[in-house]
Chain A
Amino acid sequence: MTDTVAQPAVADAKAAPDTMAWDSGLRRLMMIYLPLGCFVLILLFPFYWMAITSFKPNAELMNYKEHNPFWISSPTLAHIKHLLFDTAYPRWLWTTMMVAIGSTTLSLIASTLAAYAIERLRFRGSPYVGLGIYMAYLVPPSILFIPLATVVVQFGLFDSPLALILVYPTFLVPFCTWLLIGYFKSIPYELEECALVDGATRLQILRRITLPLAVPGLISAGIFSFTLSWNEFIYALAFIQSGANKTVPVAILTELVTGDVYQWGALMAGSLLGSLPVAIFYSLFVDYYVSSLTGAVKE
């Protein structure tokens, strides 16, 4: 190693003690920062493109010769205004929000109780019940939506957001139960034994001891469920017909895509607004997302 290359390596080693000694600055730049930069650029570009399209006037959207497509010369709120005042977009947002909150609440209640029964009440066959619920996670919605559509019709729930609230737990409950079993496992059983000795009932133990300790797990499961229900598409597409009851992802695709000339500005504005709630939610709870994602995989 020459001195010129060794110099940055020393500085680097100071910044991060774990860095391997022979990692020189230039090598680090080429092997780590350059590829990372490319990854970030490619992963984020569609969002940049979505955002910039939402604020571009139509004249700029369709004219790359005179306007640099990567920038906006005269930003406009016309697309967002069109979306909010000329379409049922606020209504769709509201429906989506209600469906996501409803199904998240339902699945949280169901999976907390189930996880508690499987992990803490321990009965013969409880591991098998846990495994059964886990297997339910492996059944993809794509093979269920046709028979589910007939079930929904039988129940008289076709075209009602209530159908979605009841159906979404099929993929939320397995995930949440699995996540919460992991969290309950990490709570010392001795705490519950103490409470039992003191004469608390099992439900009191669940409410006053186990649940407060499992709050991080509940938050993880909750935000995850919210995101998954917000993003769900195929059930919402198959079970909802009237324009007013549609969720945002379905409505944008079926109500805003009209004719042969696509309103790209409005479409991208709709996508941006539809992504914002989950993105904001996500930015508030990043650590929970990462821990639930990795926790569920490691389990």
Chain B
Amino acid sequence: MSVTTLSSPAFVHRQQSWLVRLFDYKPFLIVMCLAPAIGLLGVFLTYPLGLGIWLAFTDTTIGRKGVYVGLENFQYLLTDSLWWNAVFYSVVYTGIATFGKFALGFWLALLLNNHFPFKSLLRAIILLPWIVPTVLSALAFWWIYDPQFSIISYLLVDVLHWRSTNIDFLGSPWPARFSLIAANIWRGIPFVAISLLAGLQTISPSLYEAAMLDGASAWQRFRYITFPMMMPILAIVMTFSIIFTFTDFQLVYAITRGGPGNSTHLLATLAFQRGIAGGELGEGAAIAVSMIPFLVFATLFSYFGLARRKWQQGESND
């Protein structure tokens, strides 16, 4: 700052230099304040988003500028069984994992909403899976799913004697798919539970007292108070969860890389394999763009969830 040029402290605004006055001019200040954020997002988010959609209509490869080819990439994808496979698994993965995360996460949130000792410590421990880098916990799962030295197999075969052979977690399509879903649920539970716990704590206890006076059972209190009151926050958390589960990349890339036999490719890993590893940028971009309709659907879901909140709490509440 140009404080050194001033004869008196900067607080005396009549003697401020033109620079200080410029920074106090509101329109200029607004532009200056927004410039870094908008600039970064514009250059590295909006522009690539547009570029990605453009690339999807070209035959660009790494090292060669492509030409416009119209819908060719998408027409090719529609005939590509691997793409259909990835769409299928992305939907299955998102569906089952989201259901699992929310069922278990909601349950955990309800449990944490009780009074017991060391509650805050427990809450802190539970968030750990979400804090630790996904790839690193995915590596731990990879090791847990090892065909020979899996600790789960050891438990089932040698300790409990429920099975006679080791489980082949990642060697064949369906077990591999479900193993990945289990890892995703494991990673997603903490986020869902802690977010929903915050929602639970905002529900007024007087509602439960009133319901109990009216003789409502535990299930009725859950069904007619907890669940409707949680609807708005549930909708938001679920939208985020669906978007980031559908576009998940790390878990699958770290554990199976799409194998065995391309059975566990999600759209994101397929896009990476074609676009970056295979060098077909245009085709990879087309696969990435094909995720957008699903994401728009999820966002609309969130919008209606929010609209519902307004309706529940009255118009003025924002």
- Chain A residues with CB under 8 Å of chain B are 15-16, 18-19, 32-33, 35-36, 39-40, 42-44, 46-47, 49-50, 53, 61-62, 64, 69-70, 106-107, 109-111, 113-114, 116-118, 121, 123, 129, 133, 136, 138-151, 166-167, 169-170, 173-174, 177, 198-204, 227, 230-231, 233-234, 237-238, 248-250, 252-253, 262, 264, 267-268, 270-271, 274-275, 278-279, 282-283, 286, 289-290, 293-294, 297-298
Contacts and interface: CB of A to CB of B under 8 A. Distances in A.
A199 B51 contact: no
A37 to B, nearest CB: 10
A275 B133 contact: yes
Interface in B1-34: 10-13, 16, 20, 23-24, 26-27, 29-30, 32-34
Given A138-B299, A147-B49, A271-B140, A166 B151 contact: no
B194 A293 contact: yes
Interface in B178-200: 186, 189-191, 194-195, 197-199
B36 A110 contact: yes
Contacts of B77: none
B52 A143 contact: yes
Nearest to A109: B36
Contacts of A49: 140, 143-144, 151
Contacts of B123: 290
Given A40-B122, A43-B128, A173-B40, A297 B24 contact: no
22 contacts: A36-B116, A39-B126, A40-B125, A47-B137, A47-B140, A50-B137, A110-B37, A114-B36, A114-B38, A121-B33, A123-B30, A140-B291, A142-B288, A143-B289, A143-B295, A146-B271, A151-B51, A201-B10, A249-B134, A270-B136, A271-B137, A298-B198
A91 to B, nearest CB: 17
A143 B247 contact: yes
Contacts of A167: 44
Contacts of A47: 128, 132, 137, 140
Give the interface SS of chain A, mostly helix, strand, loop or mixed: helix
Given A64-B158, A144-B52, A294-B195, A268 B139 contact: yes
Contacts of A64: 149, 154, 158
Nearest to B276: A238
Given A40-B122, A121-B29, A150-B55, A133 B132 contact: no
A248 B182 CA distance: 24
A274 B133 contact: yes
Given A49-B140, A143-B291, 11 more contacts: A46-B137, A140-B243, A146-B52, A170-B41, A237-B253, A248-B133, A252-B139, A262-B143, A270-B136, A278-B132, A294-B195
Nearest to B130: A293
Contacts, number: 297
Given A117-B34, A146-B285, A298-B198, A43 B276 contact: no
Contact of B131 (A110, A227, A252): A227
B252 to A, nearest CB: 11
A177 B45 CA distance: 15
Interface stretch (B67-75, B79-87, B93-101, B106-114): B106-114
Contacts of B268: 142-143, 234
A3 to B, nearest CB: 23
B258 interface: no
A142 B23 contact: no
A234 B271 CA distance: 12
Contacts of A198: 11
B237 A201 contact: no
B292 interface: yes
Contacts of B16: 201
Nearest to A173: B37
A170 B144 contact: no
A113 B51 contact: no
Q: Which of B10, B55, B240, B250 has the most CB of A within 10 A?
A: B250
